[in-house]
Amino acid sequence: MRIVVCTKETPDTAAKVEVSADGSVSWGDAPLVINPWDEYAVEEALQLKDRGASGITVLAAGTEVTRDALRHALAMGCDDAVLVDDPTLEQADTLLVSKALAAAVRKVDDVGIVLCGRTTTDGGSGLTPVQIGRWLGWSTLTYVSRVLAVDFAAGKITVERLLEEGRQVVESPLPVVISVVKEINEPRYPSFMGIRKAGKAEIPVWSAADLGLEGVAQVQWGAVSAPVTRDVQCEMITAVSVEEAADRLAEKLIADKVV
């Protein structure tokens, strides 16, 4: 059974993101990188291949700028990549993006597991993985911190998930959609050979028509603005002794009613 990893590009997390005068978002000359969470998904796919999966396809819904994220995943060791690119997806919401990704997954033969990151660091909501799973009619296991057992022949998987109150262990039949948290592994760096291979790889583009995709985005995005910056002036607390400084801080926090 094959694995499909879903990924996209995001501005580098240290980038200064700003709204331009025309209302568009820009991040200067900071690079676009593979969504950091997806590196864990790619790494887990590679490890699952060692555990018996037959191959790994990387999948992204995006535009030409998304190719670098796909190449990063190929350089880490994935076998092939597909870019879903269509003008109708430009103003998409997770409902439509997940529908497109699910349609693309259906075009890949014998998929056992779709792997996603927990969320995207730009417009992320964590909704995409569960929605891909729903469109496919497969069960979805989110926030997975460990794949405890997987049996591709028998079509079964057991994972540990991180929920607010603790760790849940769940069994599910394959195929399944999984989103992973950072704890699951330590992503490898692309190898020199991998980078060379990825540079030469052909990445086919699938359009909405190729996927038989219909539907519209339901969410309409309006203006983007900078968050209201609270005018915080840090009051440095100094005193002759640490005890006195600590006591003054405690007094202030109690007066501010936050303790």
Partner 1 sequence: MGGVWVWIEQHDGKAAGASWEAVGVGRRLADALGEKVTALVFGHNAAALGSEAIKRGADSALVCDDETLADFRVDPVASLLSALAKQHGPSVIMAGATTRGTDVMGPAAVDLDAGVVADVVEIEVERERIVASRPVYAGKLIARATIPAGVQMFTLRGRAFPAPAVDEARTGAVEAVSPVRAEGDITTKVTSFEVRGGEVSLTEAAIVVAGGRGVGGPEGFEPLRELAGVLGAALGASRATVDAGWIPYEYQVGQTGKVVSPDLYIAAGVSGAVQHQAGMRTSKVIVAINKDADAPIFRLARYGIAGDLFQVVPALTAAFRKRLGK
Ligand X SMILES: Cc1cc2nc3c(=O)[nH]c(=O)nc-3n(C[C@H](O)[C@H](O)[C@H](O)COP(=O)(O)OP(=O)(O)OC[C@H]3O[C@@H](n4cnc5c(N)ncnc54)[C@H](O)[C@@H]3O)c2cc1C
What residues make contact with ligand X under the rule CB under 6 A?
A: 13, 36
Q: Say how far residue 76 (Cα) sits from the centre of its chain.
A: 16
Smallest distance from the beta carbon of 168 to partner 1, in angstroms? 5
> 45, 76, 101, 208: which one contacts ligand AMP (CB under 6 A)?
101
Size of the site for ligand AMP (CB under 6 A): 24
CB of 231 to partner 1, least distance (A): 11
Neighbours of 159 (CB within 10 A): 23
| Residue 4 β-bridge partners | 57, 114
Smallest distance from the beta carbon of 226 to ligand AMP, in angstroms? 22
DSSP-derived secondary structure letter, 218: -
| Contact between 40 and 147 (Cβ < 8 Å) | no
Residue 86 to residue 131: CA distance in whole angstroms: 19
Q: How far is the CB of 68 from ligand X (least distance, A)?
A: 16
Question: Among ligand AMP, partner 1, ligand X, none, what binds residue 251 when CB lies within 5 to 8 Å by partner kind?
Answer: partner 1
Work out how close the CB of 143 gets to ligand X at its nearest, in angstroms, rounded to a whole number: 15
Residue with tokens 């094959």: 2
The residue (of 37 and 138) whose beta carbon lies closer to ligand X is 37
Looking at residue 183, the DSSP 8-state letter turns out to be G
Report the residue number, 196 or 218, with the smaller CB distance to partner 1: 218
Question: Counting contacts by CB under 6 A, is residue 36 touching ligand AMP?
Answer: no
Whichever of 33 and 81 has its CB closer to partner 1, that residue is: 33
146's enclosing H/E stretch is: strand 139-151
Q: Which stretch binds ligand AMP (CB under 6 A): 6-14, 17-25, 135-143, 193-201?
A: 6-14
Find which of partner 1, ligand X, ligand AMP, none residue 181 binds, CB within 5 to 8 Å per kind: partner 1
Encoded tokens for 254: 């109690």
- Residue 32 near ligand AMP by CB under 6 A: no
> CB within 8 A of 66, min separation 6: which ones?
8, 9, 60, 83, 85
C-beta separation of 246 from 238 below 8 A:
no
Judged by beta carbon distances under 5 to 8 A according to partner kind, the member of ligand X, partner 1, ligand AMP, none in contact with residue 62 is ligand AMP
| Burial classification of residue 196, based on how many CB atoms lie within 10 Å of its CB (0-12 exposed, 13-18 middle, 19 or more buried) | exposed
Distance of closest approach, residue 34 Cβ to ligand AMP, in angstroms:
10
Q: How far is the CB of 200 from partner 1 (least distance, A)?
A: 31
CA dihedral 182, 130, 106, 190 (to 10 degrees): -10
Which residues here bind ligand AMP, judged by CB under 6 A? Answer: 6-8, 35, 37-38, 41, 59-62, 94, 97, 101, 116-117, 119-120, 124-129
